[in-house]
Protein backbone atom coordinates (compact mmCIF):
# COMPACT_ATOMS: atom_id res chain seq x y z
CA UNK A 1 0.00 0.00 0.00
CA UNK A 2 1.24 3.46 -0.82
CA UNK A 3 -0.17 6.41 1.06
CA UNK A 4 -2.01 9.31 -0.52
CA UNK A 5 0.27 12.33 -0.29
CA UNK A 6 -1.40 15.32 1.37
CA UNK A 7 -0.34 18.25 -0.79
CA UNK A 8 0.02 21.11 1.69
CA UNK A 9 1.00 23.60 -1.00
CA UNK A 10 -2.14 22.98 -3.05
CA UNK A 11 -4.44 22.97 -0.01
CA UNK A 12 -2.80 26.17 1.30
CA UNK A 13 -3.49 27.87 -2.06
CA UNK A 14 -7.11 26.79 -1.93
CA UNK A 15 -7.55 28.00 1.66
CA UNK A 16 -5.80 31.30 0.92
CA UNK A 17 -8.18 31.91 -1.99
CA UNK A 18 -11.14 31.39 0.38
CA UNK A 19 -9.74 33.88 2.90
CA UNK A 20 -8.83 36.38 0.16
CA UNK A 21 -12.55 36.58 -0.70
CA UNK A 22 -13.32 37.41 2.93
CA UNK A 23 -10.50 39.98 3.05
CA UNK A 24 -11.78 41.54 -0.18
CA UNK A 25 -15.29 41.77 1.29
CA UNK A 26 -13.88 43.69 4.26
CA UNK A 27 -11.85 45.95 1.98
CA UNK A 28 -15.03 46.77 0.03
CA UNK A 29 -16.34 48.12 3.36
CA UNK A 30 -13.19 50.26 3.81
CA UNK A 31 -11.45 47.91 6.27
CA UNK A 32 -8.08 46.42 5.34
CA UNK A 33 -7.06 43.58 7.68
CA UNK A 34 -3.65 44.39 9.20
CA UNK A 35 -0.96 42.20 10.78
CA UNK A 36 2.03 43.40 12.80
CA UNK A 37 4.98 41.07 13.28
CA UNK A 38 7.72 41.89 15.79
CA UNK A 39 11.08 40.17 15.67
CA UNK A 40 13.80 40.73 18.26
CA UNK A 41 17.35 39.80 17.27
CA UNK A 42 18.96 38.08 14.33
CA UNK A 43 17.93 34.40 14.45
CA UNK A 44 18.23 33.37 10.78
CA UNK A 45 15.32 30.91 10.78
CA UNK A 46 13.06 33.43 12.54
CA UNK A 47 13.99 36.09 9.98
CA UNK A 48 12.91 33.78 7.13
CA UNK A 49 9.60 32.94 8.88
CA UNK A 50 8.85 36.61 9.51
CA UNK A 51 9.70 37.62 5.93
CA UNK A 52 7.33 34.89 4.69
CA UNK A 53 4.54 36.11 6.98
CA UNK A 54 4.87 39.66 5.66
CA UNK A 55 5.01 38.37 2.06
CA UNK A 56 1.83 36.32 2.52
CA UNK A 57 0.01 39.45 3.74
CA UNK A 58 1.14 41.38 0.67
CA UNK A 59 -0.04 38.56 -1.63
CA UNK A 60 -3.52 38.73 -0.14
CA UNK A 61 -3.62 42.52 -0.16
CA UNK A 62 -3.46 42.80 3.64
CA UNK A 63 -1.79 45.66 5.48
CA UNK A 64 1.32 44.55 7.36
CA UNK A 65 3.87 46.11 9.69
CA UNK A 66 7.25 44.49 10.20
CA UNK A 67 9.06 45.66 13.34
CA UNK A 68 12.68 44.43 13.59
CA UNK A 69 14.26 45.24 16.94
CA UNK A 70 17.93 44.68 17.88
CA UNK A 71 18.85 41.68 20.06
CA UNK A 72 19.68 43.96 23.02
CA UNK A 73 16.22 45.56 23.08
CA UNK A 74 15.02 45.78 26.69
CA UNK A 75 11.90 43.96 27.83
CA UNK A 76 10.40 47.36 28.73
CA UNK A 77 10.98 48.70 25.21
CA UNK A 78 9.42 45.58 23.66
CA UNK A 79 6.38 45.81 25.94
CA UNK A 80 6.00 49.48 24.98
CA UNK A 81 6.03 48.56 21.27
CA UNK A 82 3.39 45.88 21.92
CA UNK A 83 1.22 48.43 23.77
CA UNK A 84 1.51 50.82 20.82
CA UNK A 85 0.40 48.17 18.30
CA UNK A 86 -2.37 46.92 20.65
CA UNK A 87 -3.80 50.45 20.45
CA UNK A 88 -3.42 50.84 16.67
CA UNK A 89 -6.83 50.41 14.99
CA UNK A 90 -5.21 49.49 11.65
CA UNK A 91 -3.69 46.39 13.28
CA UNK A 92 -5.99 43.37 13.78
CA UNK A 93 -3.31 40.75 14.38
CA UNK A 94 -0.12 41.10 16.40
CA UNK A 95 2.60 38.57 17.11
CA UNK A 96 6.11 38.45 18.49
CA UNK A 97 8.21 35.83 16.74
CA UNK A 98 9.57 33.25 19.19
CA UNK A 99 12.09 32.58 20.55
CA UNK A 100 12.92 35.99 22.05
CA UNK A 101 16.42 36.65 23.49
CA UNK A 102 17.03 35.15 26.94
CA UNK A 103 16.91 38.45 28.86
CA UNK A 104 13.24 38.84 27.83
CA UNK A 105 10.51 36.87 29.63
CA UNK A 106 8.45 35.29 26.86
CA UNK A 107 5.44 34.69 29.15
CA UNK A 108 5.34 38.41 29.94
CA UNK A 109 5.45 39.16 26.22
CA UNK A 110 2.63 36.75 25.37
CA UNK A 111 0.54 38.15 28.23
CA UNK A 112 1.03 41.70 26.93
CA UNK A 113 -0.49 41.04 23.50
CA UNK A 114 -4.15 42.03 23.37
CA UNK A 115 -6.16 38.76 23.38
CA UNK A 116 -8.36 40.29 20.64
CA UNK A 117 -5.29 40.63 18.37
CA UNK A 118 -3.48 37.43 19.44
CA UNK A 119 -3.54 35.69 16.04
CA UNK A 120 -0.99 33.12 17.25
CA UNK A 121 -3.44 32.04 19.94
CA UNK A 122 -0.69 31.96 22.59
CA UNK A 123 -2.21 34.36 25.17
CA UNK A 124 -3.35 32.40 28.26
CA UNK A 125 -6.93 33.63 27.74
CA UNK A 126 -6.96 32.18 24.22
CA UNK A 127 -5.31 28.96 25.40
CA UNK A 128 -8.07 28.71 28.00
CA UNK A 129 -10.73 29.52 25.41
CA UNK A 130 -9.48 26.64 23.24
CA UNK A 131 -9.34 24.30 26.24
CA UNK A 132 -12.94 25.10 27.22
CA UNK A 133 -14.29 24.72 23.69
CA UNK A 134 -14.81 28.47 23.11
CA UNK A 135 -12.03 28.88 20.59
CA UNK A 136 -11.18 32.40 19.44
CA UNK A 137 -7.79 31.95 17.75
CA UNK A 138 -6.35 28.49 17.18
CA UNK A 139 -2.54 28.40 17.00
CA UNK A 140 -1.64 28.44 13.32
CA UNK A 141 0.35 25.21 12.90
CA UNK A 142 -2.11 22.79 14.56
CA UNK A 143 -5.02 24.69 12.97
CA UNK A 144 -3.34 24.14 9.58
CA UNK A 145 -2.79 20.45 10.35
CA UNK A 146 -6.49 20.09 11.22
CA UNK A 147 -7.52 21.70 7.93
CA UNK A 148 -5.22 19.31 6.04
CA UNK A 149 -7.01 16.35 7.63
CA UNK A 150 -10.46 17.81 6.91
CA UNK A 151 -9.68 18.78 3.30
CA UNK A 152 -8.21 15.32 2.68
CA UNK A 153 -11.43 13.67 3.83
CA UNK A 154 -9.89 12.01 6.89
CA UNK A 155 -12.57 11.17 9.43
CA UNK A 156 -11.75 12.56 12.89
CA UNK A 157 -14.85 11.90 15.00
CA UNK A 158 -14.58 8.70 17.00
CA UNK A 159 -11.05 8.00 15.78
CA UNK A 160 -7.98 7.50 17.93
CA UNK A 161 -5.58 10.41 17.43
CA UNK A 162 -2.09 10.22 18.87
CA UNK A 163 -0.07 13.42 19.15
CA UNK A 164 3.65 12.97 19.73
CA UNK A 165 5.01 16.20 21.24
CA UNK A 166 3.54 18.40 23.92
CA UNK A 167 4.77 21.91 23.05
CA UNK A 168 2.56 24.92 23.67
CA UNK A 169 2.87 25.89 19.99
CA UNK A 170 1.90 22.54 18.43
CA UNK A 171 1.35 19.42 20.55
CA UNK A 172 -0.99 20.69 23.26
CA UNK A 173 -3.23 22.83 21.02
CA UNK A 174 -3.28 20.02 18.40
CA UNK A 175 -4.58 17.60 21.01
CA UNK A 176 -7.26 20.11 22.09
CA UNK A 177 -8.38 20.74 18.51
CA UNK A 178 -8.69 17.00 17.81
CA UNK A 179 -10.58 16.53 21.08
CA UNK A 180 -12.91 19.36 20.07
CA UNK A 181 -13.62 17.38 16.89
CA UNK A 182 -14.54 14.32 18.94
CA UNK A 183 -11.40 12.27 18.45
CA UNK A 184 -10.11 10.10 21.29
CA UNK A 185 -6.76 11.70 21.98
CA UNK A 186 -3.51 10.38 23.42
CA UNK A 187 -0.60 12.74 23.99
CA UNK A 188 2.89 11.22 23.95
CA UNK A 189 6.32 12.77 24.13
CA UNK A 190 9.61 11.64 22.65
CA UNK A 191 10.27 10.12 26.12
CA UNK A 192 7.09 8.00 26.33
CA UNK A 193 8.06 4.42 27.14
CA UNK A 194 7.13 1.97 24.39
CA UNK A 195 6.13 4.85 22.14
CA UNK A 196 5.50 2.46 19.23
CA UNK A 197 2.74 0.70 21.20
CA UNK A 198 0.84 4.01 21.22
CA UNK A 199 1.66 5.20 17.71
CA UNK A 200 0.67 1.81 16.23
CA UNK A 201 -2.78 2.29 17.70
CA UNK A 202 -3.29 5.69 16.04
CA UNK A 203 -5.82 6.24 13.25
CA UNK A 204 -4.45 9.78 13.11
CA UNK A 205 -0.81 10.33 14.05
CA UNK A 206 0.54 13.86 14.46
CA UNK A 207 4.26 14.14 15.10
CA UNK A 208 5.93 17.29 16.42
CA UNK A 209 9.06 16.35 18.34
CA UNK A 210 11.90 17.99 16.41
CA UNK A 211 13.66 14.62 16.21
CA UNK A 212 14.51 13.75 12.59
CA UNK A 213 12.80 10.59 11.20
CA UNK A 214 12.03 9.22 14.68
CA UNK A 215 8.73 7.65 13.55
CA UNK A 216 9.35 4.78 11.17
CA UNK A 217 6.93 2.71 9.11
CA UNK A 218 6.85 -0.15 11.66
CA UNK A 219 5.43 2.31 14.23
CA UNK A 220 2.41 3.19 12.07
CA UNK A 221 -0.98 1.49 11.84
CA UNK A 222 -1.78 0.44 8.25
CA UNK A 223 -4.05 3.05 6.67
CA UNK A 224 -3.43 5.76 9.29
CA UNK A 225 -3.30 9.47 8.48
CA UNK A 226 0.17 10.73 9.35
CA UNK A 227 0.79 14.45 9.82
CA UNK A 228 4.46 15.36 10.12
CA UNK A 229 4.98 18.77 11.72
CA UNK A 230 8.75 18.40 11.97
CA UNK A 231 11.17 20.31 9.83
CA UNK A 232 14.81 19.43 10.36
CA UNK A 233 17.83 20.58 8.37
CA UNK A 234 20.20 17.63 7.85
CA UNK A 235 24.01 17.73 7.45
CA UNK A 236 23.63 17.43 3.66
CA UNK A 237 21.47 20.60 3.68
CA UNK A 238 18.24 18.72 2.90
CA UNK A 239 15.06 19.09 4.96
CA UNK A 240 13.39 16.13 6.59
CA UNK A 241 10.50 15.62 8.97
CA UNK A 242 10.09 13.81 12.27
CA UNK A 243 8.64 10.89 10.30
CA UNK A 244 10.75 8.62 8.10
CA UNK A 245 8.79 9.35 4.92
CA UNK A 246 10.14 6.46 2.81
CA UNK A 247 9.12 3.68 5.20
CA UNK A 248 6.00 5.47 6.50
CA UNK A 249 4.44 6.02 3.08
CA UNK A 250 4.36 2.25 2.50
CA UNK A 251 2.11 1.75 5.54
CA UNK A 252 0.09 4.94 6.03
CA UNK A 253 -3.16 5.77 4.27
CA UNK A 254 -2.34 9.48 4.04
CA UNK A 255 0.90 11.30 4.75
CA UNK A 256 2.22 14.86 4.62
CA UNK A 257 5.61 15.36 2.94
CA UNK A 258 8.37 17.61 4.34
CA UNK A 259 8.70 20.15 2.86
CA UNK A 260 5.31 20.86 1.27
CA UNK A 261 2.99 19.44 3.94
CA UNK A 262 2.14 21.32 7.13
CA UNK A 263 4.65 24.13 6.48
CA UNK A 264 2.62 26.07 3.86
CA UNK A 265 -0.47 25.86 6.08
CA UNK A 266 1.00 27.68 9.09
CA UNK A 267 1.25 31.06 7.41
CA UNK A 268 -2.06 30.50 5.63
CA UNK A 269 -3.82 30.10 8.98
CA UNK A 270 -2.05 33.20 10.33
CA UNK A 271 -3.57 35.17 7.46
CA UNK A 272 -6.93 33.49 8.15
CA UNK A 273 -6.77 34.44 11.84
CA UNK A 274 -5.89 38.04 10.91
CA UNK A 275 -8.84 38.33 8.51
CA UNK A 276 -11.12 36.76 11.12
CA UNK A 277 -9.90 39.23 13.74
CA UNK A 278 -10.66 42.13 11.38
CA UNK A 279 -14.14 40.67 10.74
CA UNK A 280 -14.78 40.57 14.49
CA UNK A 281 -13.52 44.14 14.95
CA UNK A 282 -15.86 45.27 12.14
CA UNK A 283 -18.92 43.42 13.42
N1 LIG B 1 8.21 30.35 16.45
C2 LIG B 1 8.01 29.13 15.91
N3 LIG B 1 6.71 28.99 15.54
C4 LIG B 1 6.10 30.16 15.87
C5 LIG B 1 4.77 30.63 15.74
O6 LIG B 1 3.87 29.94 15.25
N7 LIG B 1 4.55 31.90 16.19
C8 LIG B 1 5.51 32.67 16.74
N9 LIG B 1 5.18 33.89 17.16
N10 LIG B 1 6.76 32.26 16.88
C11 LIG B 1 7.05 31.02 16.43
- Tell whether ligand 1 has an atom less than 6 A from the beta carbon of residue 140: yes
pLDDT tens digits, 248-266: 999 999 999 999 999 999 9
Q: Which of 38, 49, 99 to mutate to test the pocket of ligand 1 (most atoms within 8 A of CB)?
A: 49
Q: For ligand 1, what atom is nearest to the CA of residue 99?
A: 1
The structural domains of the chain, with segments of one domain joined by +, span: 30-115, 139-263
Q: Which fold has domain 30-115?
A: Rossmann fold (3.40.50)
CA of 140 to the centre of ligand 1 (A): 9
For residue 190, what pLDDT band results from cuts at 50, 70 and 90?
Answer: confident
Is the per-residue pLDDT at 79 higher than 90? yes
Looking at ligand 1, which residue's alpha carbon is closest to its atom 8? Answer: 97
Query: Is 90 in contact with 33 (CB distance < 8 Å)?
Result: no
Query: Is 254 in contact with 195 (CB distance < 8 Å)?
Result: no
CATH class of 139-263: alpha beta
Is the per-residue pLDDT at 150 higher than 80? yes
Rounded to two decimals, what is the model's pTM?
A: 0.97
For residues 158 and 220, what is the distance between their CA atoms, to the nearest angstrom?
A: 19
Phi, psi (degrees; rounded to nearest 5) at 64: -140, 150
- Tell whether ligand 1 has an atom less than 6 A from the beta carbon of residue 262: no
Torsion 47-49-51-57 (CA) sign: negative
Sheet architecture: strand order including 93-96 = 63-69, 34-40, 93-96
- Work out the mean pLDDT of the chain and round it to a whole number: 97
Provide CB contacts within 8 A for 155, sequence distance 6+.
none
Beta bridge partners of 226: 205, 255
The two domains 30-115 and 139-263 share their CATH topology (first three levels equal): yes
- Tell whether ligand 1 has an atom less than 6 A from the beta carbon of residue 35: no
Amino acid sequence: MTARIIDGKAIAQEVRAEWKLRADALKARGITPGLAVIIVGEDPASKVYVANKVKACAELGLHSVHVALPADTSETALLAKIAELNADPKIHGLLVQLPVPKHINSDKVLNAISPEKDVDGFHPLNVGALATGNMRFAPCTPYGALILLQKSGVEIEGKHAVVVGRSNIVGKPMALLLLQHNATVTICTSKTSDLAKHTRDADILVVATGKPRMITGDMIKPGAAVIDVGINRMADGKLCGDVDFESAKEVAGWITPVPGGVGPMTITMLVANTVQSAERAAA
